[in-house]
Amino acid sequence: EIVMTQSPATLSVSPGERATLSCRASQNVNDNLAWYQQKPGQSPRLLIYGASTRATDIPARFSGSGSGTEFTLTISSLQSEDFAVYYCQHYSTFGQGTKLEIK
């Protein structure tokens, strides 16, 4: 079974700054990697699929990169609405999540 490990568990960043979130797979998953955003009291929302393709209506400040076992979600200039929990996923496995909080 493939294990997805996200880091850090919590990331504190100031509005307007860049945030970089990491996701590591225990085996090669090629580019079959998705990212989701979840705000308190809401369902998860798809941000990125295929490691780097933005989903419909996702702002350009969100970008995904990586392949194989190492992946990154970058938010270029944090807006207030971006503070949330972010999950990576490969098939039937989710990472444990990274909470992005206001510094």
Partner 1 sequence: EVQLVQSGAEVIKPGESLKISCQASGYSFTSYWIGWVRQMPGKGLEWMGIIYPGDSDAIYSPSFQGQVTISADRSSRTAYLQWSSLKASDTAIYYCARRRDWVQSWSYFDYWGQGTLVTVSS
H/E stretch holding 11? strand 10-13
User: Please, which residue, 1 or 81, has the CB nearer to partner 1?
Assistant: 1
Q: Which stretch binds partner 1 (CB under 8 A): 15-23, 59-67, 69-77, 92-100?
A: 92-100
Q: In whole angstroms, how close is the CB of 6 to partner 1 at the nearest point?
A: 9
Q: In whole angstroms, how close is the CB of 77 to partner 1 at the nearest point?
A: 25
CA 41 from centre of chain: 18
Using only C-alpha atoms, the chain has a radius of gyration, in whole angstroms, of 13
In whole angstroms, what is the distance from residue 44 CA to residue 38 CA? Answer: 4
- Binders of partner 1 among 7-66, rule CB under 8 A? 30-32, 34, 36, 38, 43-46, 49-50, 55
User: Please, which residue, 15 or 97, has the CB nearer to partner 1?
Assistant: 97
Single-letter amino acid, residue 23: C
Closest-CA residue to 100 (of 3, 41, 22, 2):
22
Encode burial over 67-82: b for 16+ CB neighbours within 10 A, e otherwise.
eebebbbebeebeeeb
Q: In whole angstroms, how close is the CB of 50 to partner 1 at the nearest point?
A: 5
Contact positions vs partner 1 (CB under 8 A): 1, 30-32, 34, 36, 38, 43-46, 49-50, 55, 85, 87, 89, 91-97
